[in-house]
Chains A and B, each alone.
Chain A
């Protein structure tokens, strides 16, 4: 093998990620952002440090309303995780694990609400699918985890979903946002077909299109389509819908609304 010991690698590449490493720690941010009182502090702590939160939620439900447990403990905990992710301290697995734990906590709260004859009011309802003919669903799963972490109800239709099944589900569920993902250029062609069928049925819903070979010019070429380049864009687009913006307005203000567009 060639002797490469004399190579000055500073002249070949630079590890910008190491140069830009943040000094903030999960402990620092928890201290700064966590609710002070218990049981909310403990619930948030469990989420931030990726532990099962079930028993703390069960304990809290003995003394507090389930809505309070969600809003005062679980959501602030996930907000800290989201901030750690945004600052590059937490990576995707930490976010997903915290989301798994939060999901268990939410389930317990929803059971408690059901016993009292109430239903949880999510931030909004998102119907998700992977295009017909496409078996690649990890992107959809990651996006779903991020939306759930932000308090959205997610209805997951899975992968390889026929166009008519998507249209039927939109009719039945009346979601605030529909999403479709595809890895391949030739399966993404299902998206305009879905949009056309929704139009024919007189339905109008913001339809996030995303995935490997999918791009903005394609998604914005059919009615209702709004492009998301990253899974983390999803909650921002859903938030814009919550604020009353339709897909046309979101497209007009795209660079301001969608983080990856910047």
Chain B
């Protein structure tokens, strides 16, 4: 499949929330038009522990979750509401029993009923769990113990055949090497794990997901590097956390953009997965719609870009929150409301022709709050995208280019005094720059070096990547 070697946008200022170069339409009633001129709400709620014990319990849980989200959306007059279901492990283990009836069919039916009765645009997105474990094998026929690769692909088929509107995943290829790199501050390991191996795994995975989606006329949305770049971001944390440097997590974010892009190169259309904070970079390159999350993730994690993350989103989402009762009703409804009002603000700004001003206010709020928020500010995300497409044909080189550009942007902003860095963040960044400079310009040479250096790590098996 062709790789991106040009930017979708001529200028970063063209990018704004609610508009993408290649909008995607799906769902019930008036339908959701991702990137088609308005931002849409996405709400996802996790079932309570214990609900996964039996399909009947799970079905009851998902009925309540879905209805209470849509009831709140209708109560408050929101024009569109997407329901995302991040499958729990048991659904991926046995999708026929635990996912088909309890989630996929039921949620599609409820979404359709609300669309028919109230005229609200609704849709259901199913995010399949990546059960695969590198020690057991990532590809068909390799995991003879748990058959996870087969179960993952089988789950996409079940979802696509039984009512899902959009398919997504948080795939984990290369995570075993990325984890090693995150723990040791080893950017080369992260680049190998995510920039190279992760991209190869994405090819394997997304070529199949796109086929399944095409056969069933559903939308192959996209991916996220939640298992690696978000791990780095969460561990880096906020100003009281001292586990890894935020300059390190910023560079991992840039690196992972090349990997997340592969889903779209394989034919996925967007919208991609909300927790991919690399969304502004990949949207700048591909022009496909992105769902983002930020300040409405506070129940799951703190991040330093709560407002900025909304700057160029097409869908706005909360982070998975547990289903439980609050003073005003179920948590599902409270999150639908929080997300929905933010979306209302964005869409009002669009109606008034003030969307670019609001975009810039979101961006300005967090632009200098952390190195990671700085590099995904849309103007900088665009610059990283430009560096990537110049060498877009090589997974390794484009990930390396992203890392180099991000490091350069952070250094410049620090030198100009706009972006403050702690001594530790500076030291780490200097080390990263040194490590990046030492890398070869040839992909094959890089891979050989990495296989020598990381080939013996216990969880890594080159066969998982066809090496």
Q: Which residues of A contact B (CB under 8 A)?
A: 1-2, 4, 7, 9, 12-13, 15-18, 21, 85, 88, 91-94, 96-97, 100, 133-138, 141-142, 145, 158-160, 184-189, 213, 218
Contacts and interface: CB of A to CB of B under 8 A. Distances in A.
Given A18-B420, A91-B242, A189 B179 contact: no
Contacts of A184: 46, 88-89
Given A15-B239, A16-B240, A93-B185, A185 B360 contact: no
A145 B130 contact: no
Given A1-B360, A187-B89, A141 B183 contact: yes
Q: Which 7 pairs, one residue from A and one from B, show the smallest C-beta to C-beta distance? A: A93-B185, A133-B89, A2-B360, A17-B239, A186-B88, A92-B243, A4-B364
A21 B423 contact: yes
A12 B362 CA distance: 12
30 contacts: A2-B356, A2-B361, A4-B364, A12-B365, A13-B368, A15-B420, A17-B240, A18-B422, A21-B423, A85-B242, A91-B242, A91-B424, A91-B428, A92-B244, A96-B184, A133-B89, A133-B131, A137-B179, A138-B179, A138-B183, A138-B235, A142-B183, A184-B89, A185-B46, A185-B47, A185-B49, A185-B322, A188-B49, A189-B53, A213-B322
A92 B183 CA distance: 7
B193 interface: no
Contacts of B428: 91
A94 B135 CA distance: 27
B227 A136 contact: yes
A190 to B, nearest CB: 10
A75 B235 CA distance: 26
B367 interface: yes
A189 B86 CA distance: 17
Contacts of B424: 91
A47 B356 CA distance: 53
B466 interface: no
B183 A1 contact: no
Interface footprint category on B: 35 or more
A1 B184 contact: no
B183 A145 contact: yes
Interface of B: 13, 46-53, 88-90, 93, 130-133, 135, 146, 172, 179, 182-186, 227, 231, 235, 239-240, 242-245, 300, 322, 356-357, 360-361, 364-365, 367-369, 379, 420-424, 428
Given A135-B172, A186-B52, 8 more contacts: A4-B360, A4-B367, A15-B239, A18-B422, A91-B245, A91-B428, A133-B90, A187-B88
A2 B364 contact: yes
Nearest to B53: A189
A21 B242 CA distance: 11
B365 A93 contact: no
Contacts of A7: 364
Contacts of B132: 135
Contact of B46 (A18, A91, A135, A186): A186
B183 A160 contact: no
Contacts of B356: 2
B240 A189 contact: no
A19 to B, nearest CB: 9
A141 B186 CA distance: 16
Task: Tell me which of B130, B231, B424 has the highest count of chain A C-beta atoms within 10 A of its own C-beta.
Answer: B424
Contact of B368 (A9, A133, A137): A9
Nearest to A214: B49
Contacts of B52: 186, 189
A4 to B, nearest CB: 4
Given A21-B423, A138-B179, A186 B360 contact: no
B233 to A, nearest CB: 13
B25 to A, nearest CB: 30
Nearest to A15: B420
Contact of A135 (B49, B131, B184, B243): B131
A4 B368 CA distance: 11
B49 A186 contact: yes
A151 to B, nearest CB: 20
Contact of B130 (A1, A91, A135, A138): A135
A184 B50 CA distance: 12
A29 B90 CA distance: 50
Nearest to B361: A2
A16 B370 CA distance: 12
B422 A141 contact: no
Given A21-B423, A135-B132, A184-B89, A1 B49 contact: no
